[in-house]
Structure 1
């Protein structure tokens, strides 16, 4: 440990951190290129080649040119994902207006005399179908 001082250890840790940060940023930019629906196929291919062939310059130029839109696309994707999740949960759990609840309401209407037995049977068959 004498031949590797503490300052060199700190420098190495900083470089590893920056290296990991760089790859995160590179993958973020590449995923944003593919996620953007306003870009055509040739524009996506051009940005991708630019980012891969000249990675530092490509990512810097992409962030300057299209950086503000990245946040909007992230927010839009998060809202769409959340809406899809909520829709799935409501569909899976039922929103309180399930068949059993509606059959109970129909039975209550029949018992009060508001609908006839025939109307009840038709509505029940329609619900169960």
Structure 2
């Protein structure tokens, strides 16, 4: 260990960490280029060539010029996933088969109510949706 001092080890770890972070950023930018609907084909090709040919400069320029759009894409994707999840939960809670594992395997009302309560506690169901599903179960 004498031929590789502790400070050199720390420096190597720092450089390696920064390199890995830069790779993550590069992949994030490349995926953002392809999912961006406001960029045309030539603009996407131009950004991709810039990012791949001059990686450090390309990444910095992309962050400067397209950084706010990247954040908007992330927010929109998160909202779309949340909307799809809520729709799935709503459909599952309101379906006539809710709580059944198949023909003839009806679970108890207590289990169904516990599942609904859990969904409401996690914020997947609104109070109105919870009350409607609960009334349907108890009817």
- Normalised by the size of structure 1, how large is the TM-score? 0.72
**Larger-Rg structure:** 1
Question: 1:70 maps to what in 2?
Answer: 70
Alignment of 1:1-129 (within 5 A): 1-94=1-94, 96=132, 101=136
CA displacement, residues 53-100 of structure 1 (integer Å, 9 cap, x when unaligned): 111111111111111111111111111111011111211232646xxx
Deviation at 1:13, TM superposition (A): 0.6
Could you say what the CA RMSD is over the residues aligned between the two structures, in angstroms? 2.0
Could you list the runs of 5+ residues in structure 2 that have no partner in the other structure? Answer: 95-128
Whole-Å Cα distance in 1 between the matches of residues 93 and 16 of structure 2?
46
Structure with higher helix content: 1
Question: 1:114 maps to what in 2?
Answer: none
Deviation at 1:4, TM superposition (A): 0.9
Task: Report the secondary structure of 2:39's partner residue.
Answer: coil
Task: Report the secondary structure of 1:2's partner residue.
Answer: coil
Task: Report the secondary structure of 1:66's partner residue.
Answer: helix
Whole-Å Cα distance in 2 between the matches of residues 17 and 48 of structure 1?
24
Whole-Å Cα distance in 2 between the matches of residues 66 and 44 of structure 1?
12
Could you list the runs of 5+ residues in structure 1 that have no partner in the other structure? Answer: 105-129
